[in-house]
Amino acid sequence: MRALGTISAILPVLILFGASLLSVRRCSDVFTVFTKGAADGLQVVVKLLPTLCGLLCAVEMLKASGALDFLAECLLPVTELLGIPSDCLPLFLLRPFSGSASLALAGECIASAGADSLSGRIAAVLMASSETTFYTAAVYSAASGMKPARYTMLCALLGDLTAMLVSVYAVKWLFF
């Protein structure tokens, strides 16, 4: 474990040193290349900002309006049939939209049920095995200027559903 800490402390220095040696060997102006890359990065951030603001606003409106709780209540019979704990359902619904909001819900789930509970473990596994699909699609499409392909969102959401179901059944199979 100590070796891993040493490697992680030394690796960034080695990467910077290697990049410096490579730039000297190629006779390139490191500072100019760095500032051009930083300027390009800022342009990407400016293009992404409206999309991210809209997405975050929509997520907060969904949570504040009570629509998330209403949807969870409507889906309760289905989740009981599938054996999904009801306190994990809001996390399942919000995970494809927002990483920070789903992290807060996972923290609440773990705090209320306990880290070693079924719900706590399912929340932890789900957070590690799924993606914020709409956020990622919004960022990539805004950065590239392309709309997602025809079936991209459907396949990504099916992947999210698979991660949700597998997280429930894997935790039940391994721990309970």
Look at residue 164 in the predicted model and tell me its pLDDT.
94
The per-residue b/e assignment along 76-91, b for 16 or more CB within 10 angstroms, e otherwise, is eeebeeeebbebbbbb
State whether residue 6 is helix, strand or coil: helix
Look at residue 1 in the predicted model and tell me its pLDDT.
55
Looking at the domain assignment, is residue 22 inside a domain? no
Looking at the domain assignment, is residue 92 inside a domain? yes
Report the domain count for the chain. Answer: 1
Look at residue 139 in the predicted model and tell me its pLDDT.
80
Whether the pTM exceeds 0.75: the reply is no
Look at residue 4 in the predicted model and tell me its pLDDT.
67
DSSP state of 145: S
Looking at the domain assignment, is residue 83 inside a domain? yes
Residue 169 structural domain = 44-175
SS percent in the chain: helix, strand, coil, step 5: 85, 0, 15
Looking at the domain assignment, is residue 116 inside a domain? yes
State whether residue 95 is helix, strand or coil: coil
Looking at the domain assignment, is residue 169 inside a domain? yes
Mean pLDDT by 10-residue block, N- to C-terminus, for the chain (176 residues)? Answer: 75 85 82 84 84 81 86 90 90 89 90 94 94 85 76 90 94 92
